Structure 1
Amino acid sequence: MAQHEFHLTAEWNGGRNAEGTIRAGNLDTKISIPKEMGGPGVGTNPDEMLIGAAATCYLITLAAMLERKQIPVDKLTLETTGVVSENRGRLKFESITHYPHVVLGTEVTEQQVEEAKGFTEKAEQSCMISNALRGNVELAVEARVEKA
């Protein structure tokens, strides 16, 4: 069994409303609590990073599935929304919803369109990050798949 290690280093300068930095591979950015949660809103934050991890994993998984089945894609875009609730001062990451928009090549068959629609759901179920979150965060996909 192959294992892959990923490493992150972090620095934090102060208390709750301070800011810090993180570095992991190609990721090198400032961090803080978001303005929406009463923080300074400098750099990114854990909420953005969580939906970023879920979205990039989903998008790469979907692209790989389409490529493996040789379904021509003209354009693949994604919007992702994460919802965090606050109850009595406790925060909970409630849900992540992916909104992929898949524009297939004009030469695709109706069977390939249907297959691509299926992959929009299967990619969420196959994504390593989604699988790590499943059971703790509600996960959903609302896809648009169409011919160019």
Structure 2
Amino acid sequence: MKTLYTAQALATGAGRNGHVTSSDRRIDLDLAVPAEMGGSGQGANPEQLFAAGYAACFHSALQAVARGAKVDLGDSTVGAQVEIGANDAGGFQLAVTLEVVIPLLPHDQAQQLADQAHQVCPYSNATRGNIDVRILVTDD
């Protein structure tokens, strides 16, 4: 791999109940275990950060695929839902649902572009075969 950019972040404190800061300080957040997992919920959590990153990255991949196909996406959006749960080995695992909305296009064409974006998105490539990722094309 030829590196184009390197992001750096540092976690301090008590992990999920600590603090995370990127090297350029654009991310500077207190973290807290979600209330649903027994925590205070009074801070961001790794799953939210992963969801934000995956949604943005996938949307960029979708736009690149559309540009290559000379297709106008209009006001497209990508939402990411990241779930965490216990696995059968005593640990935890993630699952992701990406919701893609491309109002200007017929469903089949939007699905085809979303499937192509899933092949080029770095997050999709990093997670492929490791976690369940579902691509859901919806009208709203």
Q: Under a length normalisation based on structure 1, what TM-score does the superposition of the two structures give?
A: 0.76
Q: Report how far residue 28 of structure 1 moved.
A: 2.3
Determine the structure 2 residue equivalent to 1:139.
133
Q: Output the CA distance in 2 between the equivalents of 1:137 and 1:75.
A: 29
Q: Determine which structure has the larger strand proportion and give its number.
A: 1
Q: Deviations over 1:19-69 (max 9, x none)?
A: 323224432222122111111213211111222222221111001211232
What are structure 2's unaligned runs of at least 5 residues? Answer: none
Q: Output the CA distance in 1 between the equivalents of 2:15 and 2:50.
A: 20
What are structure 1's unaligned runs of at least 5 residues? Answer: none
Q: Output the CA distance in 2 between the equivalents of 1:144 and 1:33.
A: 31
Determine the structure 2 residue equivalent to 1:119.
113
SS in 2 for 1:84: strand
Structure with higher Rg: it is 1
Q: Report how far residue 2 of structure 1 moved.
A: 3.0
Matches within 5 A, 1:57-136: 57-86=57-86, 90-93=91-94, 95-104=95-104, 114-136=108-130
SS in 2 for 1:44: coil
Q: Deviations over 1:58-109 (max 9, x none)?
A: 111001211232212221112222222225863221x21111110227xxxx
CA contact (8 A) 1:120 1:141 kept: yes
Q: Report how far residue 16 of structure 1 moved.
A: 6.8
Q: Output the CA distance in 2 between the equivalents of 1:70 and 1:39.
A: 47
Report % sequence identity: 23
SS in 2 for 1:83: strand
Q: Output the CA distance in 1 between the equivalents of 2:74 and 2:16.
A: 44
CA contact (8 A) 2:58 2:78 kept: no
Paired residues, number: 137
Q: Report how far residue 144 of structure 1 moved.
A: 3.1
